[in-house]
Structure 1
Amino acid sequence: MQYSGKVEYAQQRKIRERNTALYRLAHWPIWIWVFFLAPGPLTFSLFAHGFGSGNLTWLIAVLIGTGIAALRGSLPGSEPRPYILRFDEDKPNPLYRRVCYTFAWSAVLTFALLNLTGLLLAAAIGHWYMQQIYHYAYLPLCGTILLLGALGVLPRVRPSTKGEGTERRYFYGSVWAVTISQAILLLFWKTLPATRAANLTKLAIFAASLLLMGLAAYRGTLPAPAPSSPASSWSPTKKYKNKMRHIVEI
């Protein structure tokens, strides 16, 4: 299906020569959350039994690791200068970006798929097996996603940044769809009883939310960036050329 929504031409974006301290700081909590979620069974224990000593130990490790990486400019968004100036540039994708976005994809996909599996089983047979699902299925699924990232198959994890203009839309759209759907599921998980009819309701709501949010992201009605295209009738002005030359010389 051909995309018919808003298209943002790469040359029309305002060039940001430096990332402000606030901008860099704002990205740190994002990556804290991504890596904090990485050990799935430990995260399941957090939501099932509350914040334990294992969660605290892992959180401290994540804070230290991501803090050092952020100070060194080795987290996406924490760089002193934007690495990608134009989303159609064919540049090598740095290792830290590939690692971070691989784990971000794992956080987005793994929990949504495992929760959907648990809902399907509960709706079909009337029993919950979430703990067993996370215990046995998390590592194989997470490992598969990490392998796809290592092979450069996932969006924003490829060896080149040339497709960034489109790939970032896949990523942000998935993040919005899954985050909103998981929040809705948590609400109904807390409010609906643990009956088979309620399980069917939770499954229907979660699946419908994923579908509708995904469609909304595709159509550009969620805060996901519009696809960026290098093609337009725009031609660089002398002021723009001088600005680009100044950036290259820095």
Structure 2
Amino acid sequence: MQKRAEIKVYGRVQKAGFRDFIDEIAFNLNLNGYVKNLDDGTVQVVCEGEEAAISELLQKINVTQYPIRVENIEVTCKEPTGEYGTFELIRDEDLTTATYERMDVAARYIREMNSNLCQKMDSIGGKIDGLGGKMDSLGGKMDSLGGKIDFLGGKIDVLGGKIDSLGGKIDVFGGKVDSFGGKIDVLGNKIDLARVEITSEIRISRESLRSHLDERISVIERELALIRAKVVT
């Protein structure tokens, strides 16, 4: 809803860059009207626009920010006339006063920039401190991890020593197995040799027995033939 507000501001509001401050706020809120100094030391604002925008203007100009100190604000609301096409800062004082006020405005902007910069620097410093803390924490974790790796390395070294020792024992055992295998081979050779010798002896014995039996049978056959001949005659 469109409204018109006639505002009078009391306090340390002249020669402090207050009108420039109001002009900037009114511009950002899309309000039309004007702001000017009055002879009684107050600042007058007449503005038209959305009711919410006018309420926001009243909140933002009620400040105590060096060199401005607002002590009281009087507001009269009316129906808008539509007579203003923009918002205007009216300067009716002499050139020297206007120059000093512009210098005050410049000083205020510089202070605001410095304040904002300091806040950002503080924020960055806080983030850097936070990052430093995280880096310290990470460093501690890396140290802990390094300790665990060293401990694990020690265990691996011990395990390696045990494996080397076990390998030595396996080598010794392998040597014994090889030696035992050699002995088994020697025993096998001896068994084979004995088997050959026994087989040879058995064969010789069989041949001798056969020859002896053949000889005995021949003798018996001859004797039987002699006996048969005698019986017949």
TM-score (norm 1): 0.23
Using CA pairs under 8 Å that are at least 6 residues apart, name the structure with larger relative contact order, 1 or 2.
1
Structure with more of its chain in strand, by fraction = 2
Computing the radius of gyration over CA atoms, which structure comes out larger, 1 or 2?
2
TM-score (norm 2): 0.24
